[in-house]
Amino acid sequence: LEDQGRRQVCYKYKARAEDPAYRGGDVTRATNSWEAPEIGRPGSATFGLNATRGVYAGWGGCAPRGVRGFPVYRPEHWAFAGTGIYYGDLLGADSHVYGYEVDGLDFEIRGGLPYPAADSGAPDGLQVLAVGMASQVEESADIPIEDQFLTDEDGRFTAETLFGEASDANLDKVKRGNG
């Protein structure tokens, strides 16, 4: 809060360089991404998902022709009781419920089912019911980078936030997400 509490400012992409909380010593109050190591409040620990493991779907060149719904993996879960949903169904695809910005979680597939990765920070017992693809980098062999809408800015921010450097190697670690 600034201006004697009358204005709230979010520095996000420029937080490490410009947010007064970094200079004031209490970086846990900075307006950086929750997943920044110094903030110490990853979304996965509170509600099971992180912004840095998801982001864009069906927007610009980020998974532009994706499924537009949630592919269901656990139809037996109580949340789907009485719905007639099957394994592999696309929940909400007709109305394009999956798109734009999504939060995600690093996961692995075992026996055809997604499970939170051991280092994901997800609470014990979290079940992944449905999951789709997302991207933090707009990629297109057909559209020159100067004509792309998003390019790789969000991916580079995430790489720098999580790994301390927005190198190509770190960008590759974060560019593919899910939701």
Residues 172, 84 within the same domain: yes
Q: Is residue 48 part of a domain?
A: yes
Structural domains counted in the chain:
2
Same domain? 132 vs 170:
yes
Together in a domain, 150 and 90: yes
> What pTM does this model have?
0.84
Q: Are residues 50 and 10 in the same domain?
A: no
In contact, 102 and 54? CB cutoff 8 Å: yes
Q: Are strands 100-104 and 50-57 parallel, antiparallel or unpaired?
A: antiparallel
Q: Is 26 exposed, middle or buried (0-12, 13-18, 19+ CB in 10 A)?
A: exposed
Is the sign of the CA dihedral 14, 22, 47, 155 positive or negative? positive
CA distances from 100 to 35, 57, 92 (A): 20, 5, 14
Same domain flag for 171 and 115: yes
71 and 142 in a single domain? The answer is: yes
The CA–CA distances, whole Å, from 28 to 6, 11, 36, 107 equal 21, 14, 10, 27
> Per the domain annotation, does 38 fall within a domain?
no
Please state, in angstroms and rounded to a whole number, the distance separating the CA atoms of residues 56 and 87.
24
The residue range of the domain holding 170 is 43-178
Quick one: 24 and 48 in the same domain? no
Do 138 and 83 share a structural domain? Answer: yes
Q: What is the pLDDT along the chain (179 residues), one digit of tens a residue?
A: 788 989 988 888 888 889 998 888 888 888 888 888 888 888 888 888 988 998 999 888 888 888 899 999 999 999 999 999 999 999 999 998 988 899 999 999 999 999 999 989 899 999 999 999 999 998 877 877 778 888 888 999 999 999 999 999 999 999 999 98
User: 127 near 74, Cβ under 8 Å?
Assistant: yes
